[in-house]
């Protein structure tokens, strides 16, 4: 049987395009179907836009610390100028990717993709056939089903705001709210975070989260825990948010950041017996769905590891190698670092502090009050702290880092964990001095000894 394509991808995010490029480079005939912006969430309205907007705030946070120590002057950031920069920069990425696809003879089909049968995908009213199909449809923001839900905004809308509202209320104290609130409060907005649970960032070490919450509170963010939002109403000027517990907040903008849900509906999965649930499409250890030549990749997969860009890219690379016969083994994930862009940043990788506490026979927890020990290397970050988890073989099994530089340092830790480095290995290496990473490596060496 001859098909139109060797491989068709539904969705053009990281879960798809890494494999599409590898397969096209290997001589396969490839098509990518995309209903929205080419290259997906991360590239257009996720990580990249967030990172671009966040970066200057890191300098502002640094200047604030020196100001408090009586050194230097305060900096300022204009959201309007920053957003104009973002709007010049980010929209160039999708056309760049389109150019790359064209150069590699990858057909980009703009439209909504839906499985019609085991080898046929409908793209709006057209149909194409393929030997293999990859479902990389990602996630979308969850939307609270409350009175006034049409007045709620999502992260994509926030990342497009030409001017920052005076009063912003975030619903949910998860990653998106904490990252956006970090920026908004520094520019003087009145910021509320309304959270259903009794704490923020539930997946991260309580100690580290408490430090970040306290710092945001000191900067003016008002946290409201144990509150379920019931309704949002339009006032003559602004909005009124009410919770079931009786909290009432007058605000100008409400961002619903209560999680993200997989795009599994209206894909034709049911007719082919492809199983899915609230967490995504069910796959086996080869990322195959119930139909073996139909794979799922990235955020849309039902999985317990973090739904992040690097995991989507890893899965995409795996699928390409599997289809090419380069790798026939089940997928094996290395440890996955994750990072919250607050000040300080919170990063963690490998065995968590909670897991280590629950298994004291196998893990030792080493707390390093980094900012207090080595002030000159932490740029006045007194609160910087590392928690290192060491296994019985005296290897690093996990770590959580609290520091503005955690985003870079966590990759070094990831490398040490994956390479199973021991203190003796680190002793054979020379690192540049002085610097945060040098001090981190010394702390690890001591912990592993």
d(CA 36, CA 19) in angstroms, rounded, equals 19
Q: Decide: is 308 part of the binding site for ligand FAD (CB under 6 A).
A: yes
Please check if 133 is assigned to a binding site.
Answer: no
| Residue ranges that bind ligand NAD, judged by CB under 6 A | 144, 171-177, 179, 194-197, 202, 228-229, 257-260, 307-308, 338-341
Backbone phi, psi, residue 214, to 5°: -60, -40
Query: Residue 255's binding partner, choosing from ligand FAD, ligand NAD, none, with beta-carbon cut-off 5 to 8 A by kind?
Result: none
Query: Residue 229's binding partner, choosing from ligand FAD, ligand NAD, none, with beta-carbon cut-off 5 to 8 A by kind?
Result: ligand NAD
Give me the least distance between CB of 281 and ligand NAD, in Å please: 16
Query: Residue 228's binding partner, choosing from ligand FAD, ligand NAD, none, with beta-carbon cut-off 5 to 8 A by kind?
Result: ligand NAD
Q: Could you tell me if 263 and 300 are in contact, meaning their C-beta atoms sit under 8 angstroms apart?
A: yes
Identity of the residue, 82 or 175, whose beta carbon is nearer to ligand NAD in the bound complex: 175
Identity of the residue, 308 or 401, whose beta carbon is nearer to ligand FAD in the bound complex: 308
Quick check: helix, strand or coil at residue 92? helix
The DSSP secondary-structure symbol of 264 reads -
Q: Could you tell me if 389 and 365 are in contact, meaning their C-beta atoms sit under 8 angstroms apart?
A: yes
Q: Could you tell me if 54 and 179 are in contact, meaning their C-beta atoms sit under 8 angstroms apart?
A: yes
Q: Decide: is 41 part of the binding site for ligand FAD (CB under 6 A).
A: yes
Q: Could you tell me if 409 and 416 are in contact, meaning their C-beta atoms sit under 8 angstroms apart?
A: no
Cross-strand partners of 398: 350, 389
Q: Decide: is 33 part of the binding site for ligand FAD (CB under 6 A).
A: yes
Site string for ligand FAD, 218-257 (x = CB under 6 A): ----------------------------------------
Give me the least distance between CB of 406 and ligand FAD, in Å please: 13
Q: Is 141 left (phi over 0), alpha (psi -120 to 50) or beta?
A: beta
Closest CA to 123 of 8, 294, 1: 8
Closest-by-Cβ residue to ligand NAD is 174
d(CA 172, CA 178) in angstroms, rounded, equals 9
Identity of the residue, 295 or 341, whose beta carbon is nearer to ligand NAD in the bound complex: 341
d(CA 279, CA 301) in angstroms, rounded, equals 7
Q: The tokens of 228 are what?
A: 């379920």
Give me the least distance between CB of 395 and ligand NAD, in Å please: 26
Q: Could you tell me if 175 and 357 are in contact, meaning their C-beta atoms sit under 8 angstroms apart?
A: no
Q: Decide: is 50 part of the binding site for ligand FAD (CB under 6 A).
A: yes
Which residues form the interface with ligand FAD (CB under 6 A)? 10-16, 33-36, 40-42, 46-47, 50, 112-113, 136-138, 155, 176, 263, 267, 298-299, 307-310, 312
Enumerate the known binding-site residues for NAD(+): 172-179, 195, 259
């Amino acid at each position: 049987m001859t098909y139109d394509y060797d491989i068709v991808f539904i969705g053009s995010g990281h879960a798809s395009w890494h494999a599409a490029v590898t397969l096209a480079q290997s001589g396969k005939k490839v098509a990518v179907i995309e209903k929205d912006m080419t290259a997906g969430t991360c590239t257009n309205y996720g990580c990249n836009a967030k990172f671009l907007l966040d970066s200057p705030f890191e300098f502002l946070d640094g200047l604030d610390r020196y100001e408090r120590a009586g050194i230097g002057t305060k900096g300022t950031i204009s959201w309007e100028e920053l957003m104009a920069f973002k709007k010049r920069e980010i929209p160039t990425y999708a056309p760049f990717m389109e150019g790359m696809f064209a150069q590699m003879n990858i057909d980009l089909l703009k439209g909504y993709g839906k499985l019609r049968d085991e080898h046929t995908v409908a793209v709006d009213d057209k149909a194409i056939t393929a030997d293999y199909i990859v479902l990389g449809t990602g996630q979308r923001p969850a939307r609270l089903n409350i009175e006034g839900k049409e007045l709620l905004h999502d992260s994509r809308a926030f990342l497009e705001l030409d001017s920052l509202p005076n009063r912003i209320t975030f619903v949910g104290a998860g990653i998106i709210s904490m990252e956006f609130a970090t920026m908004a409060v520094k520019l003087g907005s009145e910021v509320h975070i309304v959270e259903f649970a009794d704490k923020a960032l539930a997946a991260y070490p309580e100690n580290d989260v408490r430090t970040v919450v306290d710092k945001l509170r000191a900067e003016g963010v008002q946290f409201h825990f144990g509150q379920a939002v019931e309704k949002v109403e339009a006032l003559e000027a602004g909005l009124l948010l009410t919770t079931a517990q009786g909290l009432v907040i007058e605000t100008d903008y409400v961002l619903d950041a209560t999680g993200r849900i997989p795009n599994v509906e209206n894909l034709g999965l049911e007719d082919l017996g492809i199983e899915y649930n609230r967490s995504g499409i069910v796959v086996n250890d080869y990322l195959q769905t119930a139909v073996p030549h139909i794979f799922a990749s990235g955020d849309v997969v039902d999985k317990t590891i973090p739904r992040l860009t690097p995991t989507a890219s890893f899965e995409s690379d795996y699928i390409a190698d599997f289809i090419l016969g380069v790798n026939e083994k089940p997928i094996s994930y290395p440890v996955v670092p994750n990072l919250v862009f607050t000040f300080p940043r919170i990063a963690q990788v490998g065995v968590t502090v909670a897991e280590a506490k629950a298994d004291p026979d196998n893990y030792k927890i080493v707390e390093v009050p980094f900012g207090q020990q080595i002030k000159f290397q932490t740029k006045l970050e007194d609160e910087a702290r590392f928690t290192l988890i060491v296994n019985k073989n005296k290897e690093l099994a996990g770590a959580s880092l609290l520091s503005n530089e955690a985003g870079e340092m966590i990759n070094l830790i990831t490398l040490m964990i994956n390479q199973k480095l021991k203190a003796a290995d680190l002793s054979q290496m020379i690192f540049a001095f002085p610097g945060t990473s040098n001090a981190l490596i010394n702390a690890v060496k001591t912990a592993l000894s």
